Amino acid sequence: MISTRFVEELIAEPFLDTFIPKHQLGPEYIIPTNENRTWRADGAVNISVPPDLEHKYEPESVISLFRKAVENSPKRPALVVKRNGGLHEWSYAEYWHDVKDVAKGFIKLGSTPFHAVGILGSNSPEWLISYLAAIFCGAFPAGIYITNSPAACFHVLENSSANIVIVDNDSQLDKILSVRDKLPHLKAIIQYDGSSEHPDVVSWQDLLLIGQSLSDGVLEKRMKGIAINQCCSLIYTSGTTGNPKGAMISHDSVIVTSKILRYELTHLTSYQKTVSYLPLSHVAALIVDLYLSIMSESTVYFAHPDALKGKLIEDLIQAQPTYFMGVPRVYEKMKERLEAVEDSLPTMKKKLVKWARKQALKYNQQVPQSTTKPILYSTAKALVLNKVKAAMGITNVRIFASGAAPLSVDVFNFFLSYDIIILESYGLSECSGAHAMTMPKHYHRAGSVGNIHTVKDLKFKIINPNNNGSGEIAMNGRNIFMGYLGLEEMTREAVEEDKWLHSGDIGLIDKDGFLFVTGRIKELIITSGGENIPPVLIEDQIKKLLPVLSNCMLIGDKRKYLTILLTLKTEINLSTMEPTDELNPISIKWCQSVGSSAKRVSEIVQSADANVMNGIQQGINKYNEEFAISRAQKIQKWSILPQDFCIHNGTLGPTSKLKRPFVVTKYSRIIESMYSS
């Protein structure tokens, strides 16, 4: 760590803020402009406010939002984390106090407005404090995924002209140290977990002391230089098809998104609890763990860093959350765990669980839901379903939400049968999170991501629809992002002058206003015969027909026919999260059902296990005969890959999105072998 003497000298040293703000009217100030998009760090965009706007939707800054929560609930617990065997808690007043001290520490260490503060670490109170502190001092917080390579970290820090970077541990610190000489704007590295022996690293405690040495007046001047319609945060896209782009999110867009989610879609009441475990570098986690929590004066419990390695249930049991956000992969893994437990039950208990699930599914599929609960449903809850929820730590959860990727109908219905109703959100980083959400209790259509009429100020349209009404989904509203930092051409391609955002997704809107997303334009397969084929729908159907499959990827762009790569469900190495060679119980059970005794993927691949191959071919045949809507959509050949897709082997991005171009390159030999004859 930096020497005590250096810290003492820095604290004692007089400070003069050399940054000259363009105004001192903030933070509740809107810069006059007619521009709807910008790629400049100090740019501003127009906020279109209708004359009949409700007071609660009036534009405001992140600082104002936070200040109100602190004034209303100063003693209420805001952040809770388990450390050294006990729970460490921040009240809202302490939360505010630390944010101000850290912001002043950033300023004294060299943070200037319109430059980034990179945050590279697992979810923690310090992560959120650093994020807000960056906004307070006029900088841009930029989350960096902990799975990023040093080169990927460099890209974010270099693109955002970062002055400060925060890391949690030595592993992440090493990434920054390996690239810092190529970052001319970088002024300081701060580590908040443990202590580094490196002489140029500032500890979290020293950061607080440095901040406390600066007068509040310096920070107030920075805060007054802020405008609601300027950038407050950078969200870097997952980069599945190229380098991540820095989506510039304004104060207004992120706050209006959060308010719509709270008041129009989830109806989240005050004083709730949630568990923070999804990467905060993703906009969905930020909205839930930071903005919705502050807005509702709720408590955030931070999960163990290994939550996704099997410890999430422990965290849920301890925290007893009242709202829960997951991504489809999390729900899929929970489904697999429940199926394995159910399969291991004695015959009579297994029958009881199946009966209870049947009652819950029947009741929950009623739209709108009946206010009178059938006696069989209530009995099923009391005998089985409530006990399952208690064992998972979700007894008190009133809102289950999913985002970041499509949730399959199969997974949705599975949880319905356990009396768990998942609200699925649809949106992008570029629209500050959710732009639509399903409302299963009120009106719902299976497979849709919500109704476009639910929120009048969030608009949809289909661009260049074909005969079936399918085309590119476009979105419009106050929540649309400002543009991509430093990327004029890409900003102009993504956002029209009138603020309509090109989503890059293919979809259609039915006669009742339900929106269906069928794929990504960049993922669209165009065969050599000229047929356009969205792969996701086919891949989901194949996985539904073959429960042994974990993932699959359709191949066929510019080819004469379709083929598909398949991965099997296996056990996970909990220390690395890498899929192992060992089949998991679901796969073993499926193999046994087709007459195979295989226990490993390598056994199946190397011996070309006839029973497994025949079982998979039967599933492919069933798809071709019953679900393929044209000859071109039939799958002619398939191959089992030696390992499941994962972040570790590069086939999945940091948000678990499939990196299709990378997969094509990585398995090019296998792919070419399916087209060689």
Per-residue model confidence as pLDDT tens digits over 311-331: 899 999 999 999 999 988 889
d(CA 237, CA 229): 21
Q: Which long-range contacts (CB under 8 A, 24 or more apart) does 12-20 make?
A: 12/213, 15/107, 15/108, 15/214, 15/218, 17/107, 17/218, 17/221, 17/222, 19/112, 19/113, 19/138, 19/222
d(CA 397, CA 248): 33
109 and 123 co-located in one domain? yes
pLDDT (0 to 100) of residue 2: 66
pLDDT (0 to 100) of residue 1: 59
Q: Is residue 306 part of a domain?
A: no
| Max Cα–Cα distance, the chain, nearest Å | 78
Q: Is residue 557 part of a domain?
A: yes
Model confidence pLDDT, tens digit, residues 417-453:
999 999 999 999 999 989 999 987 777 788 889 999 9
Tokens of 605: 């691949």
Global confidence as pTM:
0.88
385 and 278 co-located in one domain? no
Q: Is residue 305 part of a domain?
A: no
Torsions phi, psi of 477, nearest 5? 160, 175
11 and 131 co-located in one domain? yes
236 and 327 co-located in one domain? no
Average pLDDT, the chain: 92
344 and 450 co-located in one domain? yes
Tokens 């993932």 sit on residue: 551
- Which of 188, 183, 208 lies closest to 200 in space, CA to CA? 188
Q: Which residues of the chain have pLDDT under 70?
A: 1-3, 239-241, 677
pLDDT (0 to 100) of residue 337: 87
Side chain identity at 529, as an amino acid letter?
A: G
pLDDT (0 to 100) of residue 241: 61
Report the DSSP beta bridge partners of residue 236. Answer: 246
Model confidence pLDDT, tens digit, residues 639-661:
999 999 988 888 988 777 888 88
d(CA 252, CA 142): 18
DSSP SS3 for 208: helix
Tokens 């094509």 sit on residue: 664
The string of DSSP letters for 446-459 reads TT---BTTSSTTSE
The domain that contains 435 carries what CATH number? 3.40.50.12780
Question: 431: burial class by Cβ within 10 Å (0-12, 13-18, 19+)?
Answer: buried
Domain count, the chain: 3
Q: Which of the 8 DSSP states describes residue 309?
A: G
* Domain edge (last residue) among 501, 519, 537: 519
Torsions phi, psi of 582, nearest 5? -80, 130
Bridging pattern class, strands 501-509 and 483-484: unpaired
Domain boundaries, position 119: 5-300
pLDDT (0 to 100) of residue 258: 96
82 and 195 co-located in one domain? yes
- Which of 540, 551, 474, 458 lies closest to 506 in space, CA to CA? 474
133 and 91 co-located in one domain? yes
pLDDT (0 to 100) of residue 249: 98
247 and 346 co-located in one domain? no
